[in-house]
Amino acid sequence: MSRIGKLPIQIPQGVDVTAKENLVTVKGPLGQLEQKVNDELTIEVRETEMVIDRPTDSIEHKAMHGLYRSLVSNMIQGVSEGFTAKLELVGVGYKAENQGQLIDFSLGYSHHIFFEIPEEVQVECKTEKRSNTTVSLKSHDKQLLGHVVAKIRSLRPVEPYKGKGIRFVGEVVRKKAGKTASV
Q: Is 87 within 8 Å of 149 (Cβ atoms)? A: yes
Whole-number pLDDT of residue 6: 87
**CATH topology (fold) of 83-168:** Outer Surface Protein A; domain 3 (3.90.930)
pTM over 0.75: yes
**Contact partners, residue 46, CB within 8 Å, separation at least 6:** none
**CATH topology (fold) of 2-80:** Outer Surface Protein A; domain 3 (3.90.930)
By C-alpha distance, which of 143, 25, 135 is closest to 74? 143
Q: Which residues pair with 123 in a beta bridge?
A: 137
Predicted confidence (pLDDT) at residue 47 exceeds the cutoff of 90: no
Whole-number pLDDT of residue 182: 61
CATH 3.90.930.12 location in the chain: 2-80, 83-168
Q: Give the SS3 label for residue 4.
A: helix
Q: pLDDT confidence of 129, banded at 50, 70, 90?
A: confident
The model's pLDDT over 93-120, given as tens digits with 9 standing for 90+, comes to 999 999 999 999 999 999 999 999 999 9
